[in-house]
A and B are shown apart, each in its own frame.
Chain A
Amino acid sequence: MSLLRTLLASLLIVVGGIAVLAAATDGFRAFTSETARRIDVREHPRALPPVPLQTAGGRMTNFARLRGRWVLVDFIYTRCMTYCSVQGSEFARLQDRLAQPIAAGKVLLVSVSFDPAHDGPAQLAGYQRRSGDREAGWLAVRPANASGLDALTHVFGVTAIPDGLGGYVHNAAIAVVDPRGRLIAITDWDAPHEAERYVRHGLAQ
């Protein structure tokens, strides 16, 4: 009798355990929070909050005003000496590859600093210059206030942690925002052709 009941209990535990594991991994697809964030964005596009942003030119803007075109967004901090500097040159390359739709006002690149206390307009402009900015269709911005930064890192799922050397380590990526102002995809920061494909596909429709 106890053997049968143990079998039944074990069976229930296995079924329940697999169900919990499936729920915790989005159906065995996401074992890391980075994969989970990408799946969630793809399946449930997120509206971007219109928090005030200051550009490298000193002007104010927000994501609501950038609607009507495809926007590729990455998060940076200008003191970064490691891969953010490569992020910058990847954006400069995207300026070349997307030069036509950029000139037509259909595409915009936006780099958002998650270190606004340090990254003023001058630092943002310096970052773009160092990265080889082609001076068309690339805005570097910082959130104008702390709550704006929180809102943006929350909706984009950006996590930046101190690297122990005075800088940060962050889950760098290129985020794709559609003309309706919705975050629809997150792609690898070092594979700009993926982000480019989203844009070209969207423009062709």
Chain B
Amino acid sequence: MIVPSRWHPWLGLALWLALALPPVRHVLEATMTLQMLVQIPLLAAAGWWLAPFLTHRVVHALSGWNRGGISGMLLASFGAVVWMLPRMLDAALENPWVALAKFASVPLLIGVPLAFSWPRAGFVVRGVWLVEILAMTFRLGWLYMVSPVRLCSNYLLSDQQTLGKALLAVGFTVLIALAWELLWGRIQVESRPH
């Protein structure tokens, strides 16, 4: 990273606040693709950067419950699944409480646990998690691309199909990058001592 790491938490906080600004929300929630592939991932990234705000004592206490990063990755997975439901994408536009829940839970229940757990995860846990995320990306992408029914009342069918294609594109890109890494990269998993 070009930015010194001690600035990361403040960068995370700034990103979080910026995403919550009404004009930014308005733009990023105007299409299904932007909400799902830009806004929600950026919120998770904000959480990832915020993680160093956790004090050393909290980190130490939590890590006893998070061997190999398994608990944290599970928490992040459930958080991600909830915000993949078409119903939740709709509700986040219509209901201010759901919007609040999204802005709180994506950084705190996806970003923070991932930042905390990924470095502790070994090769197998990372592999399983990545394969599951990839499979989910392909399943959702395919569904959105071929569904003749609008799954979100607030978004157009064409938007849904664009999101489907974008998800497949993201999935293939990650897949190729991973395959490249596995074939030609140097796999280094430094799991921290528990």
Residues of A within 8 A of B (CB): 1-3, 5-6, 8-10, 13-14, 16-17, 20-21, 24-25, 30-36, 159, 161, 163-164, 169, 171
- Give the chain A neighbours of B77 by CB distance below 8 A: 17
Min CB distance A140 to B, Å, is 23
Residues of B within 8 A of A (CB): 63-68, 70-71, 74-75, 77-78, 81-82, 85-88, 90-91, 94, 150-157, 194
- Give the chain B neighbours of A171 by CB distance below 8 A: 150, 153
- Give the chain B neighbours of A6 by CB distance below 8 A: 65-68, 70-71
Min CB distance A74 to B, Å, is 16
Q: Is the CB of B153 within 8 A of A163?
A: no
Min CB distance B108 to A, Å, is 14
The distance in angstroms between the C-alpha atoms of A8 and B67, with both chains bound, is 11
The distance in angstroms between the C-alpha atoms of A25 and B81, with both chains bound, is 12
Q: Is the CB of B156 within 8 A of A161?
A: yes
Q: Is the CB of A17 within 8 A of B74?
A: yes
- Give the chain B neighbours of A9 by CB distance below 8 A: 65-66, 71
- 9 closest residue pairs by CB, A with B: A17-B78, A6-B67, A33-B90, A159-B153, A9-B71, A9-B65, A2-B67, A5-B65, A13-B74
- Give the chain A neighbours of B151 by CB distance below 8 A: 31-32
Residue on A with the closest CB to B86?
Answer: A32
The distance in angstroms between the C-alpha atoms of A188 and B71, with both chains bound, is 43
Interface centre among B70, B85, B153, B155 (most CB of A within 10 A): B153
Q: Is the interface of B mostly helix, strand, loop or mixed?
A: helix
Q: Is the CB of A10 within 8 A of B74?
A: yes
Q: Is the CB of A30 within 8 A of B87?
A: yes
The distance in angstroms between the C-alpha atoms of A34 and B86, with both chains bound, is 10
Min CB distance A18 to B, Å, is 8
Interface centre among A1, A5, A6, A30 (most CB of B within 10 A): A6
The distance in angstroms between the C-alpha atoms of A2 and B91, with both chains bound, is 39
Q: Is the CB of B71 within 8 A of A33?
A: no
The distance in angstroms between the C-alpha atoms of A34 and B85, with both chains bound, is 12
- Give the chain A neighbours of B153 by CB distance below 8 A: 32-34, 159, 161, 171
Given A17-B75, A33-B152, A164-B156, 10 more pairs with CB closer than 8 A = A3-B67, A8-B65, A13-B75, A17-B78, A24-B82, A31-B151, A32-B86, A34-B150, A159-B154, A171-B150
Min CB distance A156 to B, Å, is 12
Min CB distance A4 to B, Å, is 9
- Give the chain A neighbours of B63 by CB distance below 8 A: 2
Contacts A20-B82, A31-B86; A161 near B155 (Cβ below 8 A): yes
Interface centre among A2, A3, A33, A159 (most CB of B within 10 A): A33
The distance in angstroms between the C-alpha atoms of A3 and B63, with both chains bound, is 11
Q: Is the CB of A31 within 8 A of B85?
A: yes
Q: Is the CB of A33 within 8 A of B65?
A: no
Min CB distance B165 to A, Å, is 18
Q: Is the CB of A10 within 8 A of B88?
A: no
Residue on B with the closest CB to A30?
Answer: B87
The distance in angstroms between the C-alpha atoms of A164 and B155, with both chains bound, is 11
- Give the chain A neighbours of B66 by CB distance below 8 A: 6, 9
Contacts A13-B71, A20-B78, A21-B78; A1 near B64 (Cβ below 8 A): yes
